[in-house]
Amino acid sequence: MKHQQAVFLQEMGITHWQVRKPTLFKTEEMLKQLNLSVCKLLVVCTEADKSHELMPAILNAFNINADSVVYCSLAQFESQQGTLPDLIWSTIGEIEASGTHQLLHSPSLATLAVNGNAKKVLWKQFCAYQQ
């Protein structure tokens, strides 16, 4: 279930079903709820992007401590319930979230590393968020 759908159901007083024995379902374990209590930036990306050498440089440019960043897959993002951080960055394409969040989009970090124009676009998106 997408985050936006879960929020609508929650607003109507309809609770999301919980699996009693999640260990029986491998996908349920992969989609467990993330701890976003101290998160300033949620990054929706692949494992390759998470470990790419450019990631720490971008976080440093954004002036965001690595401890306040949470990484997740698209499936994890779509299954998230509850409050999301104000800043969400996707390296895997367009994602949907409520209008109260600032969404940054970029190509994968491997593409971003060799494309100066894509870096400028990402930086402009971030600067627009800061204003």
Is the pLDDT at 83 greater than 70, yes or no? yes
Rg (Cα) of the chain, in Å, rounded?
16
Is the pLDDT at 13 greater than 50, yes or no? yes
**Overall average pLDDT of the 125-130 stretch:** 87
Is the pLDDT at 23 greater than 70, yes or no? no
Of residues 56 and 33, more confidently modeled: 56
Picking from 117, 107, 131, 130, the residue whose alpha carbon sits closest to that of residue 61 is 130
The answer, as to whether pTM is greater than 0.85, is no
**Overall average pLDDT of the 79-89 stretch:** 84
Looking at residue 115, its pLDDT comes to 94
Q: Which CATH number fits domain 3-130: 3.20.20.150, 3.40.630.30, 3.40.50.10220, 3.40.50.920?
A: 3.40.50.10220
Is the pLDDT at 27 greater than 60, yes or no? no
CA 111/CA 12 separation, integer angstroms: 42
Q: What confidence tier does 24 reach under pLDDT thresholds 50, 70, 90?
A: low
- Residue spans of the domains in the chain: they are 3-130
pLDDT digits (tens, 9 = 90+) for 54-77: 999 999 999 999 999 999 888 888
Looking at residue 1, its pLDDT comes to 56
How deeply is 89 buried, as exposed, middle or buried, from its count of CB atoms within 10 A (0-12, 13-18, 19+)? Answer: buried
